[in-house]
Amino acid sequence: EAQVTQNPRYLITVTGKKLTVTCSQNMNHEYMSWYRQDPGLGLRQIYYSMNVEVTDKGDVPEGYKVSRKEKRNFPLILESPSPNQTSLYFCASRPTGAGNTIYFGEGSWLTVV
């Protein structure tokens, strides 16, 4: 089954404690991306990757890092989480090419206290 898998799905952590949200897709997609969803703001792109070893900032990259060492994996790293990073995070992937359907994971609820 074609899917984007994120882990963990739910996490409560403390300010400053580094954490990683993993993302894996089994569709051999070149393009992967991370979004955060906040009430009234919709989905905002954090980082994206066009292919292995190619990453770039989205609209709200501050406080986040990513890496793309393998085609299928695109982890999101919060080096020093702060409460304003409490949000619902989505990983997504699609084939390269404008207008192709983008597939989302099921989301990761992150709370930073």
Partner 1 sequence: GENVEQHPSTLSVQEGDSAVIKCTYSDSASNYFPWYKQELGKGPQLIIDIRSNVGEKKDQRIAVTLNKTAKHFSLHITETQPEDSAVYFCAASIGSTSYGKLTFGQGTILTVHP
Residues found near partner 1 in the complex (CB under 8 A): 4, 35, 40-45, 48, 50, 58-59, 90, 92, 96-102, 104-107
- Cβ 15 to partner 1, closest distance in Å? 26
Residues 93, 36, 9, 55: what is their CA dihedral angle, to the nearest 10 degrees? 40
Map tokens 């992937």 to a residue: 93
Cα 61 from Cα 4, distance rounded (Å): 21
Q: Based on CB atoms, which residue is closest to partner 1, 56 or 79?
A: 56
Q: Based on CB atoms, which residue is closest to partner 1, 30 or 86?
A: 30
Cα 22 from Cα 45, distance rounded (Å): 16
Q: Based on CB atoms, which residue is closest to partner 1, 15 or 25?
A: 25
